[in-house]
């Protein structure tokens, strides 16, 4: 494998930050994006002793800002080998009929539009890299398995899955690989964001079980990116051992 630059969105927390640390340990040059400048600065200080790091304070929902950021990449960070589309969020775990429309729009704009913006801005660079280049999109088991309160979040992750599959078709012959990595329950800031800071709800979700950790998903990201060039994992669904599916819900009289 020829090492190149890894471009990670949503690098200021959770899977993105863990991925930055994992790739840095192996010396990959990093382009890290996020909306929180202070966290990006702290992460850069932490990792630049291991590798070269370029940070971009960026809201992936802004297509023009994404395009300008990519076009302004320094030459040393211009050859992208791996794109990790990690930026995303869930909001409003209440039933759909009680959710504010604004929360639906925020999830669509981030999980769908943001992912599309970044992919479009970088796809020609990945094609130029050619064999072994990778696009890894962070999906979710929610994109495959519905549950109450998932509504637009689950639908947005179903988009990630299908978009990844369709990219595979269009990129056939370029050498660029595409993977939908779909984690199950993982203990990160995810639930705090989803509940708008409700620490009690976050603690309750992870209590008395063994969820995935951000570092677990970072290892999967690194594994996918470093496979031999001729191997493409189309979709990788990862759950903790202590998570499985439930029976169908049935509405009954009485």
**CB of 91 closer than 8 Å to CB of 150:** no
Burial 159-171 (b: 16+ CB within 10 A, else e): bbbebbeebbeeb
* 153 has catalytic annotation: yes
Work out the end-to-end distance of the chain between its first and last CA atoms, rounded to an integer number of angstroms. 62
Closest C-alpha among 227, 70, 61 to residue 134 = 227
Residue 243 zone, left/alpha/beta (φ > 0; ψ -120 to 50; rest):
beta
**CB of 51 closer than 8 Å to CB of 27:** yes
User: What gap in Å lies between CA 221 and CA 207, rounded to an integer?
Assistant: 26
Place of tokens 């130029």: 128
Closest C-alpha among 110, 142, 133 to residue 237 = 142
Catalytic residue among 147, 153, 165, 223: 153
The catalytic site residues sit at 153
């Amino acid at each position: 494998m020829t090492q190149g630059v890894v471009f990670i969105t949503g690098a200021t927390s959770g899977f993105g930050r863990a991925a930055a640390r994992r790739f840095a340990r192996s010396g990959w040059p990093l382009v890290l994006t996020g909306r929180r400048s202070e966290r990006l600065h702290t992460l850069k200080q932490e990792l630049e002793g291991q590798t070269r790091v370029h940070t971009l304070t960026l809201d992936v929902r802004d297509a023009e800002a994404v395009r300008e950021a990519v076009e302004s990449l320094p030459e040393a960070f211009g050859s992208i080998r791996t794109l990790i589309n990690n930026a995303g969020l869930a909001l409003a775990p209440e039933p759909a009929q009680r959710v504010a429309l604004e929360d639906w729009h925020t999830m669509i704009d981030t999980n769908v539009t943001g992912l599309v913006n970044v992919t479009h801005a970088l796809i020609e660079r990945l094609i130029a890299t050619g064999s072994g280049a990778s696009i890894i999109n962070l999906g979710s088991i929610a994109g495959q398995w519905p549950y109450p309160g998932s509504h637009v979040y689950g639908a947005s992750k179903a988009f990630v899955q299908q978009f990844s599959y369709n990219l595979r078709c269009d990129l056939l012959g370029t050498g660029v690989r595409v993977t939908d990595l779909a984690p199950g329950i993982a203990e990160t800031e995810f639930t705090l964001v989803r509940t708008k800071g409700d620490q009690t709800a976050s603690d309750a979700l992870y209590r008395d079980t063994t969820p995935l950790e951000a570092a677990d998903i970072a290892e999967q990201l690194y594994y996918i990116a470093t496979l031999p060039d001729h191997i493409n994992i189309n979709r990788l669904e990862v759950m903790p051992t202590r998570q499985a599916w439930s029976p169908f819900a049935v509405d009954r009289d009485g």
